[in-house]
Structure 1
Amino acid sequence: MTNDDFEFSQPDTKDEAVLAVYDTAWLLYDDHDIHVLSGRYKISPDVKREVTRWILFLDSSHEYVWPKIAWPGSDPQKRVRIGGVWRRRLLWQFQALSQAEADTFLAAGDYEAWPFASRADFKSALRSPRRLSGKIAA
């Protein structure tokens, strides 16, 4: 699947978790060139681990508790402090959050476990994944 295929396949849903993951996935690719996530566009093992956590969440029965913001999988604190750096990608600053917005978002759960509300929920889902095999770091 190319980045264009992904971008034009936005899910038709009101499920906030699905929309939050879809929105955050935009940060994983360059939308200026058509490509797949390989070669110079390859994502790092750390990012793959995060994406695996997102998939595990979507396939679990855990409730999504986070307030709606753009790119919820990118650290809101870092976006406030440095105006748009997530992982190794430089983003435009048009979606920077205020400190109050970041604080409200981060108060909803344990951000290190996002999109899960807590590490306990994440570990619970890891014990009985519906589709994923193998292990990812908790």
Structure 2
Amino acid sequence: MTSTIDRPARDTAASLIRRFRDGEISNDQFENQWPKGSTDPALSALKDMIWQFYDARYEHTLTWRHTLKPDGHEAFTRFACFADSDLPYEWPPRDFKAATGLGGFIITVGLLAALIGWANFGWMAAIPVVVLLFWLDWRIHARHDQAQKAFEAAGDVTAWPFNRADDYEAARRTAPSDSRKP
């Protein structure tokens, strides 16, 4: 799979990732300054992955109670190192933040509806809703598991967004100084 590399957008992204990681900018500033309209698939994948590391409900920096753990700090460094590189993004498309969000919401609302139906009409009214919800939950998890297996088969997941650990090590040697730290 070949992809377009948007060098100016990647440079902006690498800087934003480092500044966000180091607590220099907030999550809102990170999102607002993120390069938009690029055809480089690495940029949307990086943003979706980084979204998992912060609370989007309110503005904050990655300091104090939101400080990254060492593995999160290393991941941000790896993400910035990839943005600095000229390597193409070789992973299959994947929405890192939507694996269960809407499905979980629908199941929660459905369970509330089943509870209300049971309270008002007895347990027989709740059975179809509960069966439907179990089926929906099974489908959501089956689809997520299938996507996860395909994703894991595409490369070395521990080196993501690099496809191979060797590519990451080579990029670390030529990237800005913070990428050379373990």
The whole-number CA distance in structure 2 between the counterparts of 1:69 and 1:93 is 18
Q: In the alignment, does 2:153 pair up with 1:128?
A: no
Identify unmatched segments of 5+ residues in structure 1. Answer: 73-78, 85-91
Equivalence for 1:110: 156
Identity %: 32
Pairing 1:44-55 to 2, within 5 Å after superposition = 44-55=69-80
The worse-fitting range, judged by mean Cα deviation, of 27-36 and 113-122 is: 27-36
Pairing 1:1-138 to 2, within 5 Å after superposition = 1-12=25-36, 13-71=38-96, 93=104, 97-129=143-175, 131-133=176-178, 135-137=180-182
AA aligned opposite 1:122: Y
Q: Is the 8 A contact 1:110 1:118 kept in 2?
A: yes
Q: Is the 8 A contact 1:56 1:132 kept in 2?
A: no
AA aligned opposite 1:7: E
The worse-fitting range, judged by mean Cα deviation, of 109-118 and 31-40 is: 31-40
Q: Cα RMSD between the aligned structures? A: 2.5
AA aligned opposite 2:29: D
* Count of residues in Structure 1 that have an aligned counterpart in Structure 2: 120
- The two structures have a TM-score, normalised by structure 2, of 0.58
Aligned-pair CA distance for 1:134: 6.0
Higher helix share: 2
* Distance verdict in 2 for CA 1:134–1:67, change over 3 Å: closer
The whole-number CA distance in structure 1 between the counterparts of 2:179 and 2:89 is 24
**Deviations, residues 44-75 of structure 1 (Å, cap 9, x unaligned):** 12211111001101111212110111128xxx
Determine helix, strand or coil for the equivalent of 1:28: coil
AA aligned opposite 2:151: F
Q: Which runs of 4+ in 1 moved over 4 A?
A: 92-97
Q: Is the 8 A contact 2:77 2:178 kept in 1?
A: no
Identify unmatched segments of 5+ residues in structure 2. Answer: 1-24, 106-139
- The two structures have a TM-score, normalised by structure 1, of 0.74
